[in-house]
Structure formats: C-alpha cells, structure tokens
Amino acid sequence: MFYMPYAIFEIFGESSERVEQLGSKPKFWFRFPSGDRRWLFKYARSATGEHWAEKIGAEVANLLGVPHAVIELCKFGDRYGTASPSFVPPGVDLVHGNEILAGRILGYNARKKFRQNDHTFPRIVQAFYDIFPEGPQRTEALITLAGYLTLDALVCNVDRHHENWGILRSSSRPDHAATQEIAPTFDHASSLGRELLDDKRAALLEQGRVAEYVSKGSGAIYWKETDSKGENPLALCKRAATIHRSYFQGWIDRLKSIAPADLELLVSEVPDDWMTPIAKDFAKAILLYTRDELRKL
C-alpha cells in the first residue's frame, strides 16, 4: 500500500508566547514566523505515544467527518509533541464541560478531573437540552456529541473528561443574545494503547487479547453517578446509541463505508521514528476491532 508519512513541524523558543495552565500536560502557545495564527504545542510525556495517538485520533475524526481540532506532529528542540491551531475565533469563548455542568448540578466539583462520577452521559445530554433551543440547533449539537462518542469508541479514547469537551459561545453586542455551538473535538492523546510498552503490545497481539484490552479501558464519562468507574468508551457508545439511535445513525452509516485499509493507512503514515512497528500493528488491531463492533449497531 502506498502511503506518505505525515509532515513534521519544528518550532523554536522565540516563537513561544505563554504557558497554558489548563490540563495535566505541559504546553505553550506559539506562532509560526510565517503566520499570525496561534498554535498550541503539547509535549508528549516520556515513554508514551501521546503524540502519535493525538495525531491519529484527529485523522480518524477527519475520516469519520467529526468536527475536530487540527493536529500536526511537531518538535521543539529534541522534544516530540503535537501542535494545534486555535479553533476559538476572536470574540468567542470556549466554555468547558466542567463549567457547564457546575452551573447546572448542585454540588458539582468543577476542579475534580479524575473519578468525577458526577460527569455522566445523561447529565451531559440534559445540559445540551438546557443550552440549545429546541429545533435544528439542538439536534445538530446532539448529533455532533454522538460523533465524539463514536470517535472515542473507535480509537479507544479513555480521557473524555469534563475539560475535554465544550461549547463555543459568543455575543457580538450587549443587546444581542449569545450564540453558541458545540466545540470541535480535541485531546485524543489517551487512545490506541499509547501507554503500553512494546513487549506488552506484542504479547496482547500474540495472545489475541486486543478485544480484552479494549473492553477493560475505563473512560472519563460515567453512565450514572453511583458507578465506581467511568464507562468503557466502546460500551458507552453502544449503550448511548441504543437510547438515542437517531443521533448515532449517521455516524454508524458513515463508519460502514470506511474500509479497514482506510483506517490502517492513517496509522501507517506516522513516521517510523515516531512510532514503532509493533505500536502501529497494535493501533491498527484496535481500530479494526472497534470498527467491526460499531458496525454491528
């Protein structure tokens, strides 16, 4: 199969602007010398594949048709990471899920990222019902949300916590009501087995345990607040699609038109010195398994 490796961008210290405090990974904003657009560089933590997982996640979103943040593989000195242009236009605010839910749920802890069992799928859906007026705007937002969950299931993204989704909100003048829409999906670095070492990946592949690995992953969205852990991304998508079939139907239909080779190509195009052959084989195995499972819906 013919493929062309993804481009690698390089940035320099004088391009950086400020450190971004949101989230657990070190990052900073910068501008390329040839442009005015602000980009966010995120370091990949040592011994992880966060950089290639982020890139592949965005490319899978693009293939599926889910609105997403653009991601490029990028180097800063000798450090690997990713760069993403800001998707928040001037005069618009990105309101994260924790802020949205804290304003609607009594006692919601907006600062608690891990094991936040108040961050449930039904509450997210209800928040969308509260935010968006009945009609096409609400329907479109819920369809897009379903696309995020389909993507999470496909790439086995376990980090859809309440700061990893949000609403873009703007108000042009004081006498005009704010306009809002669901933000593009972003932050897919906790996907595709990026935390594993190659010895573990090889063993799982040899033993035919990829499905077991996928099913054991706990996501950051809970099904109900009494659950002891977040719902598995694939299981969450299946359960949500059963209840809200109309929102998921288009994504499942789209997935049925995507050939296995299309998904494999997105992994193959990561440069070999950024992702090992066994990591590529494991990521491909995940995508083919989750694709087949989602096509059954």
For 189-223, the pLDDT digits (tens) are 999 999 999 999 999 999 999 999 999 999 999 99
Closest-CA residue to 39 (of 93, 6, 82, 80): 82
CA dist 98 and 251 (Å) reads: 26
For the whole model, what pTM was predicted?
Answer: 0.93
d(CA 95, CA 56): 25
Q: End-to-end CA distance of the chain: give it in Å, rounded.
A: 30
State the pLDDT at residue 22: 47
Please write down the HEC assignment for all residues of 186-229. CCCCCCCCCCCCHHHHHHHHHCCCHHHHHHHCCCCCECCCCCCC
Please give the pLDDT value at position 136.
95
Q: What is the pLDDT of residues 6-50, one digit of tens each?
A: 999 998 764 555 544 444 568 899 988 877 889 999 999 988 999
Domains of the chain by range and CATH? 8-85 (3.30.200.120), 92-295 (1.10.1070.20)
Q: For a pLDDT cut of 90, what percent of the chain falls above it?
A: 83
List of E strands, the chain: 8-11, 16-19, 27-31, 38-43, 72-76, 79-85, 92-96, 166-170, 179-182
- 3-state class (DSSP) for residue 95: strand
Note the pLDDT tens digit of each residue in 100-149: 999 899 899 999 988 999 999 999 999 999 999 999 999 999 999 999 99
The answer to whether 219 touches 268, Cβ cutoff 8 Å, is no
**Residue 89, SS3 per DSSP:** coil
Q: For position 26, what pLDDT does the model report?
A: 82
